[in-house]
Structure 1
């Protein structure tokens, strides 16, 4: 790499000017997409870059972008990188306080917002931001205004500025989710952002489409998150046709997949969980629930047998299993793939580990999901599943030129070309994270004898019971979420005699479940029977999760909450991570009641030995 991230766009426009680079929806028909050739995109980026120069945006200036994943995001980012500016992504759902903190901490001179709501949010904090000089609104024609303002700026000026951008210049200030305290701004260079993209394209790019076809990717994850930026970078650097979907609601995403027909999916476990639940719900509504469940078990068995053969530990699927799989391929699996557009041949899951059983299901229906690992401080991916040697349930092996170690306390340490430059305005935080060239990730896990990394959870999330038992909550929460009725789960138990859980239900699947149950009789009796059935179903889900851990680590008490954890109530970060401290504080009374109601004998103190506790308490609030 000789220059900055924008160079790849200009190079593609020079050697493959007609290559379809992006796709835009028609203004009149959301199911129709129009491709934008590399040379067209380059010219648009040039014109917007001229507008930024006319507005006084120069190398080193920081410009925030506060918008959903849309076509303009890509144009803006490459225009800003062209003039050497640094991008500060902000989630459009961020609160006034979060926006004020990021804009001030980063010293932004300008911000691009999406709509009137963004204008109001920024406007409410402008008085405390003396460095902020410009606010542009996409829905009010910001790109057109910039292009018009830049007409007098010579193209040679833009080219001169692009050529002075160095690989180690800062490209992005990406703020961490901030599950506790203020988020920290991670300085990511052009080189660090490009490194995982180029490595993944070299080793895995050929899996993104059938031979001879241009890969097609629908970008729907937030570009405000480093994973979304990595997807954009891979598409732009790898000649992959990229479309944008700003709406993450199931209906909108499903419609976009059907019309755009991607060849490859980049998503997070929640999306793969939701797609599976939608498949199950549709099958049950069609009266084919039992058939679907048999097909799921066959897919998982087939994938597991194929994995054993791939890793040299077994003979592979037997004749009967191959016969069953072939039958379901004709009757079930190809229909499931058709619901995703019909062309998806593979996928990547990131953000958190993907449940092994779910990964086996997708592999068995013909969509191999490569689970990987990375974080904001590593500019995205640092491990991936080696092609042909994938081991589901792990996040693969370190990428070439990247090293992974596990410290004595289980913390994962990494070093390599994608590691960040440090936290801005926080030397102490940078020193704590970067130790002798190694990044302390804050994640815990282990590496097996073949070099595959498994993630256990976050170091700071470990639950320590009053008996001294340390429990990583991530695996239990992951197993609970796989159940169709369960939307979210938070394991608790610090300084408590046993592990507990707060659970929220999936409203869509709950409504479907109630409709299928359709208990006869008077309304009061029917509601009571439905409630009893729901209690038993959740109890089975908890028991299934507990079967994966030891008795002392199992969930002995739990409570189902009436509302989900979301951005509106402050229980999730903008990147959809649980704010555990906030959840524990908000539901302190429920947690206390959960443990008190489950102890033997209300007049006696709660037993210290978890083996003295009753079986899981299915308490509904």
Structure 2
């Protein structure tokens, strides 16, 4: 199949902008809980729809008082926190355009984005961010104002706007149309300098309204059990912004968590108790690995692995029934599943707050077996696919027919087309309007309204999309064999000890790989085997560890032809990091930069 369309379920608004939802929600039910905010003691405090409207209105007045005007671009550089959402909607209320900046960005990256977007003001989280901006202030002629969240920016701006009438703010808000630019989000820059994606209010409306309508069982809670989500994705990334907007428009209680470490995230999941979460596969891998390590330390690894196998088989049987290719789980499997639900699955759900039954995953591919395990354990993960240019999700697995291992069908209002060369093209109301100040790149990506994604994929007979690689990342060995490295990398990464994998082979006689280790998993592995803590250099030469990694490579190789298989590999002592320019802020590998940084190690893999 070369093309598949799913009709829109939500009517495109003809007037207004994103901020209207804040005021409409408050008018409809001012006492309804809209968000939750942590106080100084770390306790979640509910924020009503009326309270949030008043905070947005007060902050919007302050921004106007400080000179922010309709159409101005204002940078937001912070981790995921309540104030980001507050500033987003305050800026949208007056027709300004937030420009998100990753909090880990270097001074040069900050300089490029703020200069390219002609940002006139910036909101940063703390003093380090202020110093980063300050170090390049001489090259930012448009930047006039800087506010710092940790220095009471919210209170300062609210106080500055007390003399402005509400009506002034509402005149700005009512001047917005769906086609007004909402934000400029810079791509993560895997292949070069980040590009500013221009997204309108209509783009976000088309994206979020169709998703909320299609996934009503997720976003609409049953009476007496409110829908809620804890947002821990970076708001500097389009996925996080989509979640933020969908939660406000879908009237879902929204909390924020700025730290992704399991030591901090898991306690907040337990206390916030979300009904669903949205994350990247890395989070689900971490939750699974943490549960398995706990079981091994408790001497219960055998029962845990049996529970995993039962969950996978149960989910597969359920999947077959949904597609009419099987009767569903048999009596014996249902009884086994019920037993493990008390012993294992219930504890996993409790670790995520106890109420979570659904999740959405995007950003990179999730291994089919991992998705099946979570489904069998009572948490259905809807894997999806999208780009910054498509305002996040363009496809996602539907609730009633999830096909694990694929990224699902087009979200309502979207068409997916597979070009003759296998490239995925997208069309729909969420597709961006082009790159800021870059007509050449815009012309290359937008083909008569179609977004040429640069990804390679296939559509099955039911319209489910499978991504097989990137056009620019296809490897051609010196013998002429063509392969996409993504699938191999994903399979190697499925091993608990592996953190990252970069498959190599372009213009080389055979395929090889650079592999990094997961520190937490390695520490656990050493503890269980009662090995003394070796240095990183000693660790990568450990024969037992190498044998474990070789098993991961051999398992991955069974899925491809001999010519495509990984012939040799190198375990690295350090992980690829954003700090060293080897990862994008969204944790994607910068292949070219890694190959340059490890050129000596790569050459050694191909010496006779």
TM-score range, shorter chain: over 0.9
Residue number among 245, 248, 252 corresponding to 2:260 in the alignment: 248
Alpha-carbon contact 1:499-1:556 (below 8 Å) kept = yes
Once residues 503 and 87 of structure 2 are traced to their aligned partners in structure 1, the CA distance between those partners, rounded to angstroms, is: 41
Residue number among 111, 118, 121 corresponding to 1:107 in the alignment: 118
Matched position secondary structure for 1:97: helix
Once residues 347 and 519 of structure 1 are traced to their aligned partners in structure 2, the CA distance between those partners, rounded to angstroms, is: 38
Matched, 1:25 2:45: no
Give how far 1:529 is off: 12
Aligned residues: 592
Q: Note closer, same or farther for the CA distance 1:530–1:86 as it changes in structure 2 (3 Å cut).
A: closer
Once residues 573 and 174 of structure 1 are traced to their aligned partners in structure 2, the CA distance between those partners, rounded to angstroms, is: 14
Alpha-carbon contact 2:498-2:515 (below 8 Å) kept = yes
Once residues 59 and 193 of structure 1 are traced to their aligned partners in structure 2, the CA distance between those partners, rounded to angstroms, is: 19
1:306 paired residue number = 318
1:261 paired residue number = 273
1:332-347 to 2 correspondence within 5 Å? 332-347=344-359
1:431 paired residue number = 443
1:263-342 to 2 correspondence within 5 Å? 263-342=275-354
TM (norm. structure 2) is 0.95
2:3 paired residue number = none
Give how far 1:530 is off: 9.2
Matched, 1:207 2:218: yes
TM (norm. structure 1) is 0.93
1:129-528 to 2 correspondence within 5 Å? 129-208=140-219, 211-212=222-223, 213-518=225-530
Residue number among 6, 10, 13 corresponding to 2:26 in the alignment: 13
User: Cα deviation per residue 1:431-479 (whole Å; 9 max; x = unaligned)?
Assistant: 1111122110111100011111001122111111111111111111111
1:531-542 to 2 correspondence within 5 Å? 531-542=542-553
User: Cα deviation per residue 1:302-360 (whole Å; 9 max; x = unaligned)?
Assistant: 11111111111112112221121111111111011111111111100011121101000
2:16 paired residue number = 3
2:593 paired residue number = 582
Q: Note closer, same or farther for the CA distance 1:523–1:226 as it changes in structure 2 (3 Å cut).
A: closer
Gaps of 5+ in 2: 1-12
Once residues 605 and 283 of structure 2 are traced to their aligned partners in structure 1, the CA distance between those partners, rounded to angstroms, is: 31
Alpha-carbon contact 1:22-1:36 (below 8 Å) kept = yes
Alpha-carbon contact 2:39-2:45 (below 8 Å) kept = yes
Alpha-carbon contact 1:466-1:496 (below 8 Å) kept = yes
Matched position secondary structure for 1:422: coil
Gaps of 5+ in 1: 597-601, 603-621
User: Cα deviation per residue 1:345-403 (whole Å; 9 max; x = unaligned)?
Assistant: 11000111211010000001000000011100011111111221111111111122211
Give how far 1:535 is off: 1.2
Give how far 1:209 is off: 6.3
Once residues 530 and 595 of structure 2 are traced to their aligned partners in structure 1, the CA distance between those partners, rounded to angstroms, is: 35
Q: Note closer, same or farther for the CA distance 1:134–1:305 as it changes in structure 2 (3 Å cut).
A: same
Matched, 1:67 2:81: no
Matched position secondary structure for 1:89: strand
User: Cα deviation per residue 1:110-151 (whole Å; 9 max; x = unaligned)?
Assistant: 010000001100000100111100010000010111111111
Once residues 274 and 478 of structure 1 are traced to their aligned partners in structure 2, the CA distance between those partners, rounded to angstroms, is: 15
Once residues 553 and 357 of structure 1 are traced to their aligned partners in structure 2, the CA distance between those partners, rounded to angstroms, is: 22
1:619 paired residue number = none
Once residues 104 and 124 of structure 2 are traced to their aligned partners in structure 1, the CA distance between those partners, rounded to angstroms, is: 11
1:608 paired residue number = none
Give how far 1:160 is off: 0.3
Give how far 1:25 is off: 1.1
Residue number among 84, 89, 114 corresponding to 2:95 in the alignment: 84
With 236-245 and 527-536 compared, the bigger mean Cα shift is at 527-536
Once residues 208 and 57 of structure 1 are traced to their aligned partners in structure 2, the CA distance between those partners, rounded to angstroms, is: 34
Alpha-carbon contact 1:465-1:495 (below 8 Å) kept = yes
Once residues 253 and 584 of structure 1 are traced to their aligned partners in structure 2, the CA distance between those partners, rounded to angstroms, is: 33
Q: Note closer, same or farther for the CA distance 1:380–1:483 as it changes in structure 2 (3 Å cut).
A: same
Once residues 229 and 530 of structure 1 are traced to their aligned partners in structure 2, the CA distance between those partners, rounded to angstroms, is: 43
Q: Note closer, same or farther for the CA distance 1:286–1:56 as it changes in structure 2 (3 Å cut).
A: same
Matched, 1:94 2:105: yes
Q: Note closer, same or farther for the CA distance 1:328–1:165 as it changes in structure 2 (3 Å cut).
A: same
1:113-124 to 2 correspondence within 5 Å? 113-124=124-135
Once residues 528 and 9 of structure 1 are traced to their aligned partners in structure 2, the CA distance between those partners, rounded to angstroms, is: 54
Give how far 1:207 is off: 2.5
Give how far 1:26 is off: 2.2
Alpha-carbon contact 1:209-1:216 (below 8 Å) kept = no
1:563-602 to 2 correspondence within 5 Å? 563-596=574-607, 602=608
1:34-49 to 2 correspondence within 5 Å? 34-49=45-60
Once residues 81 and 602 of structure 2 are traced to their aligned partners in structure 1, the CA distance between those partners, rounded to angstroms, is: 41
2:7 paired residue number = none
Give how far 1:181 is off: 2.0
Q: Note closer, same or farther for the CA distance 1:497–1:304 as it changes in structure 2 (3 Å cut).
A: same
1:618 paired residue number = none
Q: Note closer, same or farther for the CA distance 1:556–1:592 as it changes in structure 2 (3 Å cut).
A: same
Q: Comparing both chains, which one has the higher relative contact order based on Cα–Cα distances under 8 Å and sequence gaps of 6 or more?
A: 2
Alpha-carbon contact 1:215-1:240 (below 8 Å) kept = yes
Alpha-carbon contact 1:572-1:578 (below 8 Å) kept = yes
Once residues 452 and 541 of structure 2 are traced to their aligned partners in structure 1, the CA distance between those partners, rounded to angstroms, is: 48
Once residues 6 and 581 of structure 1 are traced to their aligned partners in structure 2, the CA distance between those partners, rounded to angstroms, is: 41
With 202-211 and 328-337 compared, the bigger mean Cα shift is at 202-211
